Amino acid sequence: MNSMKNNLLTLVVVSFICTTSSFAQQSLFTWDKENVVADDVFISLNRSLSYSWINERLHDAPLLHSIPVSCSNNQYDCVVQLYGTKGINNYSSFLFFEIINQRDDKLIYRRFGYYDLSTTHALSRIEGDTNYFRKVDLDDVSYALFFSSFDIEWDETVGEMIIVVVSKNVATLVFDGPAAVISPADFDSEEFSMDYITDGTDMINPETGLPDFSPDKLAEKTKYRLYKDGNVLRIVSWVDGDGPILN
């Protein structure tokens, strides 16, 4: 009888290890006291921009929108400014954004998209989404801002997602890479999570030209779940099944 119990316990332990080991989890960033420490592995869409290239766009790109943002206790206030040459004919597209300290009008952060940036429809999966970025509060004085480019294109290129963490009006880039969200994401939820893929191969429906996120199409793809865990964002990846259950 003891031998059967031991064998059963061993089987349960092995099954648990096999199940959990299929999920690879990483933190998007860590905290060093009050400082955000990014992991460069999550910044894959990066490019060297010459001074002349940047200066030309800073000079020519008009300011399209100024959107105020504050932390949850309203102690720190910023303004997100969107710039782009396509604002007249295509109001949903912009080239870069700046984060300005509202108290002294000083520049906190600037980022050019690897591609043209747009509204966050490709992140939220909400029809008619007109938000230019999304905000997820991490604690009383810190939050993450999400920016997005296009959806999966005809050539199967996956669009860009940018995440900047702002803590006490200090901004840190923690993610800039390909991301195609495969199900609606609720940015206002305390249990925020988002499922996405980075490989757009065979994901376009040839009849509609739109992404097809059906289970059959996703079956062999590596999927990622980005989620809030306390005051950090974590990513877990998997292939088979519906993904991990978050506590």
More confident residue, 18 or 109: 109
What's this model's pTM, rounded to 2 decimal places? Answer: 0.86
Question: Alpha helix locations (H) across 62-155?
Answer: 121-124
Query: Is-contact 111 149, C-beta < 8 A?
Result: no
Q: How many CA atoms lie within 13 A of 243 on its CB side?
A: 22
Query: Is-contact 169 75, C-beta < 8 A?
Result: no
Provide the pLDDT for residue 17: 34
Provide the pLDDT for residue 80: 97
Provide the pLDDT for residue 85: 66
Residue 40 pLDDT level (bands cut at 50, 70, 90): very high
- Give percent of the chain with pLDDT exceeding 70: 87
Where exactly are the structural domains of the chain? 23-238
Tokens of 230: 């306390």
Provide the pLDDT for residue 122: 87
- Contact partners, residue 90, CB within 8 Å, separation at least 6: none
Query: pLDDT tens-digit profile of 229-238?
Result: 999 999 999 9
Distance CA 233, CA 227 (A): 6
Tokens of 5: 């119990």
